[in-house]
Amino acid sequence: MINSRRVHFVGIGGTGMAPLATILLQSGTEVSGSDCKDSPTLNKLRQAGARVSLGHSASNLDQPDLVVVSLAVNGENPEVIEAERLGIPVLTRAQLLGSLFNEKKGVAVGGTHGKTTTASMIAYVLERTGQDPTIAVGGEILDLGFGGKLGRGRYFVAEADEAYKSFFELKPFVSVVTSIDDDHLDHYGSFEGVVEGFRRFIGQTQPDGYLVACGDDPNVMAATDGYRGRAAFYGEKNGDYIVEDLRVEDRSWRFRVRRKGDTVEMSLRVPGVHNALNATAALAACEWLGVDCSSVSEVLAEFSGARRRSELIGTVGGIAVYDDYAHHPSEIQATLKAFRARHPGRLVVVFQPQRFSRTRLLMNRFAGAFSDADLVVVDDIFYKGTGEAPLDGVNSRRLVELIGANSGKPALYISGKEEIVRFLSEHAESGDLIITMGAGDIRECAVRLVETFGGRTA
């Protein structure tokens, strides 16, 4: 654990920052922090003992020994400037995570898609089987009620984020790679740079450690070139752990995993082929850590998911409202395919694109990602805190045109959550499934929808 007695977090409410603040609070460290907007996350941190300020100001620093900054925070932040003026050490979130993670036997889960859910599954299994791990994942594990926790056990389960090359700070005992896709190209210069980044992450696995990687993903396999350590691969087609006979029964996803000459029966509450693969990665990692397969299967059958990962917000008047973090075309397609497989009624998507750069890069792929939806509503592009400025020709109106032309399904541009809620409160019907999607603040729309439907009279 770090030696600092008082630590200040700039951007304390971020999905990567809050778990680390929680770990330090539980270690007895005095924690303060600031963020630009109040949230349930900040309330939880306050309840845990953190002193939280809204807005960024040099006066928020109350003689800390260390300042931790989110990578989304730039050097012009007044708190960062004040810390540097006072000679207070400043670490990035990734550097703090690395210093904590590398003290234990670390399990790092990386991948363009699926890392939060897979890390949550591994953490949940280790927690439920008495391993008492330290946990730092970017989404609250719904069954546990937290995404950050200081454990007494020897394992540290962390989400390994490739953005900003953050996962280079980690030296895992177990490395898991779920997928590699064309995201965060601005941090790597090219897709080849992304693959090379994952190759470096894999290469940082400890000599006596273990790699778990998706054998069906050619980009993942390319990143494993040159790795000579112990490894297990998984997939539907290629690997040591093979997913078979995937089916939906009684609203559960059931399948078998064939491994080492026998099979493991699996059942999941969380939907989709992608989650069956995530669970198989968790099975392989946990088996290596000494948890028997039957225990993994039993625990994962009770796993309800992570916040913002196919999360049920509420069901009112026959209308089910979900929220999901999906913000890349591959994630959107996989999530909608899973919902379509178990929902015969109308599927309505409310999508909030994030970042102008990502939207421009993936515009044509976004256009083809919504084929399983019956209606798509697109909000304005979310770019708060990204440091980006609008780009000519990159907007939600254009995206709606492309979605409509590609899918042949109705697609609408509606600006702002209030207008979206108003529209859906007038047009949603019993039997509809509505899912909000995006990496910004679109979850607020799902919450407001449930509140609105609850107060609506027939």
Residue 33 identity? G
Region of 117 please: left (phi>0), alpha (psi -120 to 50) or beta: alpha
CA distances, 314 to each of 26, 264, 297, 320, 329 (Å): 32, 33, 27, 6, 25
Selected catalytic residue, list 79, 127, 140, 159: 159
Which segments of 215-289 are extended strands (E)?
A: 230-235, 241-249, 252-259, 262-268
Active site residue 116: yes
Measuring CA to CA, how many Å separate 109 from each of 145, 177, 292, 402, 408? 20, 6, 20, 34, 37
Interatomic CA distance for residues 286 and 299, integer angstroms: 11
Q: Check: CB of residue 235 under 8 Å from CB of residue 215.
A: yes
409 is catalytic: no
- Asked if 264 and 286 count as a contact pair (C-beta separation under 8 A), the reply is no
Give, as one character, the DSSP assignment of residue 382: B
Distance of CA 227 to the CA centre of its chain: 26
- Among 41, 48, 40, 55, CA closest to 23: 48
- Which of these is catalytic: 15, 41, 112, 116? 116
Q: DSSP H helical segments within 163-313, as ranges?
A: 185-188, 191-203, 218-223, 273-288, 293-300
Burial (CB count within 10 angstroms: exposed 0-12, middle 13-18, buried 19+), residue 432:
buried
Q: Check: CB of residue 367 under 8 Å from CB of residue 406.
A: yes
- Strand duo 411-413 + 319-324: pairing: unpaired
Catalytic residue among 44, 115, 149, 417: 115
Is residue 178 flagged as an active site residue? no
Catalytic amino acids?
115-116, 159
